[in-house]
Amino acid sequence: MNYKERMKVPVSKAEYQLFIALSRAGLTEGLTTQVPVKLREPDDLRPHGLVTVIDFAYKRQMQALYLDGNNVHKGYRLERDEEIDELMKLKGWTVVRFPYHAPLSDKRKREIVEEVRKIRG
């Protein structure tokens, strides 16, 4: 099965590039993209509840990998990300965030691949 069949869409250009790099490194076994996880039920503050979409997940091991572009993940989004990380950990997930400056450089892809390799053991 090739990467186009294994990736759920939509994904960002950076996520697509990282998936290719992870695939070339042999790190896509058991990897799923764009995995929604419900973290909170609806309430007065959040009438739709709180759902996160994990960029890359090793679901069996409950490892969540987020690729966070610095142009998007700032201000209130950083606070939201911290809340999501805490709630994910309470559900038993290991959460790792990989910040990057767009566009995703080859050097940063290599660094992330090595970090994922360490996480995977």
How far does the chain reach from its first CA to its final CA, in angstroms? Answer: 24
Contact 97, 86 (CB under 8 A): no
Sheet holding 63-69, edge to edge: 31-40, 50-58, 63-69, 94-100
What's the number of domains the chain is made of? 1
Is 29 within a domain? yes
Is 120 within a domain? no
Is 32 within a domain? yes
What is the rounded distance in angstroms from the CA atom of residue 85 to the CA atom of residue 99? 14
Residue type, 80: R
Q: What is the pLDDT along the chain (121 residues), one digit of tens a residue?
A: 455 556 666 788 999 999 999 999 999 999 999 999 999 999 888 888 999 999 999 999 999 999 998 876 567 788 889 999 999 999 999 999 999 998 999 999 999 999 999 999 8
Model confidence, pTM: 0.87
Enclosing domain of residue 66: 3-107
Is 115 within a domain? no
